[in-house]
């Protein structure tokens, strides 16, 4: 009697641990968490309990296994087991054709439900017409998300954007400049909007771009600012007003070889001012960095949560620019107020696959 209760308890615990290991693993995968404490704990507990169970029951296990494959019969097999044997049954449940068919049908149903069921319920009303709140609600992990997880949202696009016809301008690769300490830069950082109009050097522009989104660990490669899943959805377009040795115009930064593609030459200062609602800091800024996002780079993996991650990535990039500019004694200011379609058109992106998410103006101080 005790023996049975003990077996039942151990089996229930094993099943419970198996389920929590599987679910916590799925959840960690869904959220893109590389190391989940819950998953590790339940997996270790499962292994320990299973090992213990095997140590306690190994004699029964082997004898039943042998009995099942018809090679031997041992007296410590339970009576009902021997009855099964006597009646010509192996002691292990046989899988009937109906069972096989039902398992196949359940697997197929699970596959198609997971593939086609919607991610979750659409929020029925937008509280206070706040679309952000509705999106936030929508993008919380839920069961359907877990079920659908193996089926990604489309293909993963390339990590880098190329302008095949252009001839990129190489940027200096000397990153040895040492300015303020991180603590000092954080302490001194302010959004500054009055610039002298004097040009930046190519070295300064190069270091700013490198510190924002440059490759700092070439073997993987990893970049200067963190990115959800190391998917790097952002692109940087410097609109150059005043950089020594560089013609005015819109450029595209290529982290892969730390160079610039020329998108279009020209003086875009007054257009920039109009497209930022009349913010005249852009007239005197040496460069305005237009940061765009190629959403699919993050979406194929993180689905509905991708938009959150893309904006968080942009925040990290923006802060790196703030701190590096401060460390170099330059003025810097983030710009979130801009006319999307016009800025998208200015840098030549469609606003859907790739769209502007943030602007950062940088200039020399008086
Ligand atoms: C996402 C974001 C958008 C912003 N947009 C603008 C903007 O359009 N125009 C502007 O003058 N400042 C903008 N700022 C700068 C804030 O006004 C500034 O950070 C805030 O006043 C705090 O001042 P501090 O940065 O000097 O500490 C923006 C900052 C952030 C983070």
> Which pLDDT tens digit goes with each residue over 322-355?
999 999 999 999 999 999 999 999 999 999 999 9
Residue 154 lies in a domain: no
Q: How far apart are CA 67 and CA 75, in angstroms?
A: 11
**pLDDT value, residue 121:** 53
pTM: 0.76
Closest to 157 (Cα-Cα) out of 69, 247, 232, 76: 232
Q: How far is the CA of 190 from the centre of ligand 1 (A)?
A: 9
**Cis amide leading into 221 (omega within 30):** yes
Residue holding tokens 């302490």?
187
Tell me which of 32, 66, 94 is where a domain ends. 94
The proportion of the chain whose per-residue pLDDT surpasses 90, expressed as a percent, equals: 54
Burial 4-43 (b: 16+ CB within 10 A, else e): eeeeeebeeeeeebeebbeebbbbbbbeeeeebeebeebb
- Those residues whose C-beta lies under 8 Å from the C-beta of residue 273, and which sit 6 or more positions away, are 279, 280, 282, 283
Mean pLDDT throughout 232-241?
98
- 282 alpha carbon – ligand 1 mean position (Å): 14
For ligand 1, atom 8: residue with the closest CA: 335
In a domain, 126, yes or no: no
Contact 326, 337 (CB under 8 A): no
> What does the alpha-carbon distance between residue 37 and residue 256 come to, in Å, rounded to a whole number?
35
Would you say residue 17 lies in a domain? yes
Please report the DSSP string for 291-328 in residue order: EEEETHHHHHHHGGGHHHHHHHHHHHHHHHHHHHHHHT
Give Cα 50 to chain centroid, integer Å. 35
The reported pLDDT for the residue numbered 26 is 79
Looking at the fold, whether 202 and 350 belong to one and the same domain comes out as: yes
Indicate which residue's Cα is closest to atom 17 of ligand 1: 191
Interacting residues of 27 by C-beta distance below 8 A, sequence separation 6+ = 33, 36, 38, 39, 141, 146
**Whether residue 2 has pLDDT greater than 90:** no
pLDDT at 218 over 80: yes
| pLDDT higher than 80, residue 12 | yes
Write down the pLDDT at residue 163: 83
* Closest CA to ligand 1's atom 27: 190
| Per-residue burial over 278-298, b = 16 or more CB atoms within 10 Å of its CB, e = otherwise | ebebbebbbbbbbbbbbbbbb
Q: Residue 39: its pLDDT value, please?
A: 81
**Ligand 1: which atom is nearest the Cα of residue 191?**
26
Q: Is residue 70 domain-shared with residue 204, that is, in the same domain?
A: no
- Is residue 243 situated within a structural domain? yes
Query: Which ligand 1 atom is nearest residue 337's CA?
Result: 8
What pLDDT score does 143 carry?
Answer: 72
Least confident window among 151-160, 199-208, 213-222: 151-160
**Would residue 182 count as lying in a domain?**
yes
Q: Report the CATH number at residue 246.
A: 3.40.109.10
Q: Which of 314, 335, 357, when mutated, tests ligand 1's pocket best, judged by the most ligand atoms within 8 Å of its CB?
A: 335
Least confident of 40-49, 116-125, 266-275: 116-125
Which of 35, 68, 94 delimits the end of a domain? Answer: 94
Residue entry with tokens 């659908």: 148
190 CA closest ligand 1 atom index: 26
What are 140's two structure tokens?
């919380």
| Ligand 1 atom closest to 358 (CA) | 1
Helix (H) or strand (E) holding 128: none
Residue with CA closest to ligand 1 atom 21: 191
Q: How far is the CA of 155 from the centre of ligand 1 (A)?
A: 35
User: 355 in a domain, yes or no?
Assistant: yes
* Ligand 1 center from residue 172 Cα (angstroms): 30
Which residue of 333, 340, 363 sits with most ligand 1 atoms within 8 Å of its CB, as the best mutation to test the pocket? Answer: 333
CA 146 / ligand 1 centre spacing (Å):
38
Average per-residue pLDDT for the chain: 86
Q: Do 196 and 327 belong together in one domain?
A: yes
Of the candidates 289, 336, 295, 291, the residue with the CA atom closest to the CA atom of residue 314: 291
Closest CA to 40 of 20, 54, 12, 16: 20
Domain boundary among 94, 124, 139: 94
| C-alpha of residue 140 to centroid of ligand 1, in Å | 28
> What six digits make up the tokens of 204?
């300064």
Q: How far is the CA of 334 from the centre of ligand 1 (A)?
A: 5
Evaluate if residue 115 carries a pLDDT over 70.
Answer: no
Would 310 be classed as within a structural domain? yes
Is the residue at 160 inside a domain?
no
CA distance linking residue 351 with residue 200, whole number of Å: 30
Domain span at 14: 2-94
Structural domain count, the chain: 2
Share of the chain above pLDDT 70, in %: 84
Helix (H) or strand (E) segment spanning residue 249: strand 249-254
3-state SS, residue 355: strand
pLDDT at 319 over 90: yes
187 with 322, same domain: the answer is yes
Q: Which residues line ligand 1 (CB under 6 A)?
A: 190-191, 193, 279, 333-337
The per-residue pLDDT for range 92-113, each reduced to its tens digit, is 555 577 777 887 888 887 777 6
């Amino acid at each position: 009697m005790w023996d049975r209760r003990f077996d039942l308890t151990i089996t229930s615990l094993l099943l419970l641990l198996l389920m929590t290991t599987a679910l916590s693993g799925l959840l960690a995968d869904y959220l893109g968490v590389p190391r989940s404490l819950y998953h590790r704990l339940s997996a270790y507990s499962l292994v320990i309990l299973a090992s213990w169970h095997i140590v306690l029951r190994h004699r029964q296990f082997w004898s039943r296994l042998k009995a099942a494959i018809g090679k031997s019969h041992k007296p410590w097999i339970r009576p009902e087991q021997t009855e099964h044997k006597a009646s010509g049954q192996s002691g292990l449940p046989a899988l009937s054709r109906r069972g096989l068919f039902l398992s196949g049908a359940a697997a197929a149903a699970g596959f198609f439900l997971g593939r086609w069921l919607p991610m979750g319920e659409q929020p029925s009303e937008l509280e206070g017409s706040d679309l952000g709140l509705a999106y936030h609600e929508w993008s919380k992990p839920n069961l359907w998300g877990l079920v659908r997880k193996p089926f990604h949202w489309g293909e993963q696009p390339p990590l880098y954007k190329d302008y095949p016809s252009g001839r990129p301008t190489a940027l200096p690769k000397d990153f040895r400049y040492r300015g303020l300490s991180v603590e000092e830069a954080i302490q001194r950082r302010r959004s500054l909007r009055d610039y002298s109009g004097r040009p930046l050097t190519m070295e300064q522009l190069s270091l700013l771009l490198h510190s924002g989104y440059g490759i700092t660990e070439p073997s993987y490669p990893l970049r200067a600012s963190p990115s959800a899943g190391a998917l790097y959805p952002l692109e940087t377009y410097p609109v150059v007003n005043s950089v020594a040795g560089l013609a005015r115009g819109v450029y595209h930064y290529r982290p892969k070889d730390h160079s610039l593609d020329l998108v279009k030459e020209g003086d875009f200062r007054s257009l920039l001012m109009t497209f930022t609602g009349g913010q005249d800091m852009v007239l005197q800024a040496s460069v305005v960095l237009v940061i765009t996002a190629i959403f699919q780079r993050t979406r194929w993996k993180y689905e509905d949560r991708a938009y959150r991650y893309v904006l968080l990535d942009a925040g990290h990039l923006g802060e790196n620019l703030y701190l590096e500019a401060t460390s170099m004694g330059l003025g810097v200011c983030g710009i979130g107020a801009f006319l999307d379609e016009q800025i998208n058109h200015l840098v030549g992106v469609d606003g859907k696959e790739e769209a502007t998410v943030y602007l950062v103006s940088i200039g020399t101080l008086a």
